[in-house]
Amino acid sequence: GAVVSQHPSRVICKSGTSVKIECRSLDFQATTMFWYRQFPKQSLMLMATSNEGSKATYEQGVEKDKFLINHASLTLSTLTVTSAHPEDSSFYICSARGAGTYEQYFGPGTRLTVT
Amino acid sequence: GENVEQHPSTLSVQEGDSAVIKCTYSDSASNYFPWYKQELGKRPQLIIDIRSNVGEKKDQRIAVTLNKTAKHFSLHITETQPEDSAVYFCAASKGDSNYQLIWGAGTKLIIKP
């Protein structure tokens, strides 16, 4: 099946620093990658959608200058949380979709804690 | 825009019994309906999906039914086992916006031994 990896799985950083999260599709080319945020006991909240070689499309209320997304290749997308603050602490999950398909396959998620 | 409602928020069933989770959607243009299972702290995993040209789909103990007229779709799990305990999410897509999924709020399924 389609495999998506995400790194790191956990990160603790100090307030004001930046954190980069990588999402890779290992055995297929990801036309589109999605970045989600999930709070405890809640559903997935879509932050942004990215296509290879294009600028990401951000959902309403998500600051594009704070959550920088790069999708430089068909197998790699990165999310950088800039100047992180404690309220950015959350579970961040990426998903990837191949060309012409509906199915999204998820990475294992990254638990970000900002102290 | 599309809205997906999911019920119940929590479902507790005896091991071996069946579980049914229901979702409704608002946009009749939606044509793809997946179900994901998420265990605590882990990634959502696609367990079954259905397209709008099909009314029912089965895969061993799980099945999904779709009623396009009523804009309802349901997940059925038979002969429940402890490992079925998880949060289940339904979603809907109409194939636009890069096949974006609109998610339900989730159902916590508890299997009682």
The percentage of residues in chain A with a pLDDT greater than 70, rounded to a whole number, is 99
Q: How far does B101 lie from chain A, in Å, by closest CA?
A: 9
pLDDT of B2 higher than 90: no
Cβ-defined contact of A46 to B100 (cutoff 8 Å): yes
* Subunit contact A44:B45, Cβ cutoff 8 A: no
Rounded to a whole number, what is the largest CA-CA distance in chain A?
Answer: 41
**Residue A53, pLDDT score:** 83
**Interface residues from chain B to A (CB-CB < 8 Å):** 32, 34, 36, 41-46, 49, 89, 93, 95, 97-101, 103-106
Nearest-Cα distance to chain B for A89, in Å, is 14
pLDDT at B98: 84
A11-48 burial, b at 16+ Cβ within 10 Å, e below that, comes to bebeeeeebebbbbbeebebbbbbbbbbeeeebbebbb
pLDDT in tens, B90-105: 999 998 878 899 999 9
What is the arithmetic mean of pLDDT over A88-97? 96
Distances A3 to A17, A38, A75, A93, B46 between C-alpha atoms, Å: 30, 20, 11, 14, 12
Confidence (pLDDT) at A52:
85
The pLDDT mean for chain B works out to 96
In this structure, what DSSP letter does residue A53 have?
Answer: T
| Averaged pLDDT for residues B64-69 | 96
CB–CB contact B43 A93 (8 Å): yes
Per-residue pLDDT, averaged over B65-79, amounts to 97
Distance from C-alpha of A10 to C-alpha of A12, rounded to nearest angstrom? 7
Nearest to A43 among B99, B100, B103 (CB): B103
A24 touches chain B (CB under 8 A): no
Of the two residues A80 and B96, the one the predictor is more confident about is A80
- Measured over the CA atoms of residue A59, residue A2, residue B77 and residue A40, the dihedral's sign is negative
- pLDDT averaged over every residue in chain A: 94
B80 confidence band (pLDDT: 50, 70, 90) = very high
Identify all chain A residues contacting B3, using CB atoms and an 8 Å cutoff: none
pLDDT, position A100: 84
Give residue B67's pLDDT.
96
HEC letters along chain B: CCCEEEECCEEEEECCCCEEEEEEECCCCCCEEEEEEECCCCCCEEEEEEECCCCEEEECCEEEEEECCCCEEEEEECCCCHHHCEEEEEEEECCCHHHCCEECCCEEEEEEC
CA dist., res. A88 & res. A15, Å (int): 10
Cα–Cα distance for residue pair B20/B11, rounded to 1 Å:
9
